[in-house]
Structure 1
Amino acid sequence: MVTVGMLTPEDRAVWQRLFDGYNTFYGRTMSAGFFDTAWGRFAADADIHALGARVDGVLVGIVHFLTHPSTTTADLCYLQDLFTAPEARGAGVGRALIAAVADWARARGCDRVYWQTHEDNTAARRLYDAVAEHHGFVVYRLAL
């Protein structure tokens, strides 16, 4: 059974391992200072938020998200990072994390939750196609 809840100080090491796995998947190497800053922001739970998924009490998945205003609707919730430990994939962890973010956002009056993934992330896209609608938008980035 998958349970989802707030991260605790005791989760720090496993959270960092999972978040490092997420960043490695996308070809990024992050400094120790990056993880310290991110953990502090998630612990404050003010402008950016984190939840963890557990199976048999073991942290096996994480999700990071934030809200922002919209020009055309109520606030939106952006699900920025989602990662499940490889050994826990296929057990409903990702689905449970998305549902928990949706519940969190709904309780705060958000209009919707949205996220993006790389087009070749086929494993994740199977789940995303099952729980949400793809509206065909293309993402552009301008590095600053």
Structure 2
Amino acid sequence: MQSIEIKAIEHKDFEVWLPLWKAYQQFYEVEIPETVTLQTWERFLNTGEPMHAALAMLGEQAVGFVHTIFHRSTWTASDDCYLQDLFVAADGRGKGIGRALIEHVYADARSRGVSRVYWLTHETNHNARQLYDRVAERSGFIHYRNVFS
């Protein structure tokens, strides 16, 4: 099997990232407006933004991505890292790609002096949760939200 390379996204990667982003939305049965997608992409590329993205590559093929947001915390002196999105294409699952993406986030967070990485997943995402239970601990917190139009 080819080795997995995790790389920070670049301007030229939009065309390989976009199909994965759309597949991610299909997985969660959501449709993010194109304007938001384009704004998100620009934020990833803006060094002044706290948002970052990386691609998992098998050879020349992008097979997954991870998106992170670094932010202040009232609980620690250092920043926190929110792993907002993690996705591996269906044909890449079970090959260590998700773990490699998470380990990339952990390494990036450590290099920035961040004290913790956290994320959410849907309770029905059983396959991903098997991995998450091996690489992190559940906090016990329940997620609430209110969406404003």
**Deviation, structure 1 residue 34:** 2.2
| Residue segments in structure 1 that go unaligned for 5+ positions in a row | none
Unpaired segments of 5 or more residues in structure 2?
Answer: none
Q: Secondary structure of 1:35's partner?
A: helix
Indicate yes or no: 2:35 matched with 1:33.
yes
Distance in structure 2 (CA, Å) of the matches to 1:48 and 1:62: 13
Question: Match of 1:129, as an amino acid?
Answer: D
**Alignment-derived partner of residue 135 in structure 2:** 131
- Write the distance in 2 (CA, Å) between the matches of 1:9 and 1:47: 17
Q: CA–CA distance in 2 between the matches of 1:135 and 1:54?
A: 31
Paired residue type of 1:71: T
Q: How does 1:1-144 map to 2 (within 5 A)?
A: 1-45=3-47, 46-73=49-76, 74-144=78-148
* Contact 1:11/1:59 (<8 A) preserved: no
Q: Which whole-Å deviations, capped at 9, do the CAs of 1:75-132 have from their partners, x for residues lacking one?
A: 1100000001111111111101100011111111111100000111001101100111
| Distance in 1, Cα, partners of 2:121 & 2:60 | 28
- After superposition, give the CA deviation of every residue in 1:49-73 in whole Å (9 maximum; x if it has no partner): 0011111231111000011111121
User: How far did residue 32 of structure 1 move?
Assistant: 2.3
Residue pair 2:50, 2:71 contacting (<8 A) in 1 also: no
Equivalenced residue count is: 144
Q: TM-score, normalised by structure 1?
A: 0.94
**Whole-Å Cα distance in 2 between the matches of residues 141 and 118 of structure 1?**
14
Cα RMSD over matched residues? Answer: 1.1
- TM-score between the two structures when normalised by the length of structure 2: 0.91
Task: Tell me, in whole angstroms, the C-alpha distance in 1 between the residues paired with 2:54 and 2:116.
Answer: 18
Q: SS at 1:36's partner residue? A: helix
Local SS of the residue matching 2:122: coil
Whole-angstrom CA distance in 2 between matches of 1:13 and 1:35: 13
Q: How much has 1:36 moved relative to structure 2? A: 1.4
- The range that moved more, 91-100 or 44-53, is 44-53
